[in-house]
Amino acid sequence: MANVLVLYYSSYGHIETMAQAVAEGAREAGAKVDIRRVAELVPDDVARSSHFKLDQSAPIAKVDDLPNYDAIIVGVGTRYGRMASQMAHFLDQTGSLWAKGALNGKVGGAFSSTATQHGGQETTLFSIITNLLHLGMIPVGLPYSFQGQMKLDEVTGGSPYGATTITGGDGSRQPSENELAGARFQGRHIAEVATKLFG
C-alpha cells in the first residue's frame, strides 16, 4: 500500500475540490492518503475582503513530514502563469530535505487551475514539476489514457502534465465532472505507480 500526500493551496476552493478528487482516485488504488494544505500568507482582513475560502478543513502541512510519503501530489492555482506564492513559500522551505536527498526517488505529481483556458495551466504545472525534479522526485502526469482530455465538445482543463480546471475570471465556474474525473484518474495512476515502486 502506497502512502500518498495530496498537498495543496486554494484561495477560492477550486483546488481544494480538485485535491479531494485526486485523493479519491488514490484511495481507489488502495493507497493510504492524507490531504494537507499550505498556510495562507495573505493578512486575514485582505483574505476576507477578497472572499477567500477560509473554512478549509485540511490540516496545515509541515515540511518535515514530507519524507514520510511515497508520493506527493501538489496542487495550486495559477498566478500570472506560475504557482501561487503560498505554495512557492512552502516549497522554498524544503532546502534541508534537498540537502539530505530525503525525497529522492519518490513519486510526484501536479495539478492546477486558471481563470481562462490559456491562462498558464501548463506553465504552472511545469513550475511545480521543476520543484519536484530538483527534489529528486519522479514526476507522473495525466496520460492520454484518460480520454477526457481529448474532449472537444466542452471547455475543459487537463493536460498530459497534470489535471487542471478552469475557474472563470470571477471564480464562478466550479470544476466540471470531466475535470474531476481527470483528477481522480491522476490520483489513482500516481498511487499505482508508487505502489509498484514501494509496495
- Cα separation of 139 and 153, whole Å? 29
Is 78 labelled as part of a ligand binding site?
yes
82 annotated ligand-binding residue: no
98 is in an annotated binding site: yes
Residues 22 and 73 sit within 8 Å (Cβ to Cβ): yes
Is 134 annotated to bind a ligand? Reply is yes
- The radius of gyration of the chain from alpha carbons, rounded to an integer in Å, stands at 16
Residue 184 annotated as lining a ligand binding site: no
- 48 among annotated binding-site residues: no
Rounded CA-CA distance 4/188 in Å is 10
**Phi, psi (degrees; rounded to nearest 5) at 127:** -65, -30
Residue 10 marked in a binding site: yes
State the Cα–Cα distance between residues 28 and 24, nearest whole angstrom: 6
Q: Are strands 138-139 and 107-114 parallel, antiparallel or unpaired?
A: parallel
CB contact set of 117 (below 8 Å; sequence gap of 6+): 155, 166
For residue 41, the one-letter residue type is L
Q: What does the alpha-carbon distance between residue 91 and residue 95 come to, in Å, rounded to a whole number?
A: 8
Question: Per the annotation, where are the binding residues for FMN?
Answer: 10-15, 78-80, 134
Question: Per the annotation, where are the binding residues for substrate?
Answer: 98
Question: Per the annotation, where are the binding residues?
Answer: 10-15, 78-80, 98, 134
Question: Per the annotation, where are the binding residues for NAD(+)?
Answer: 12
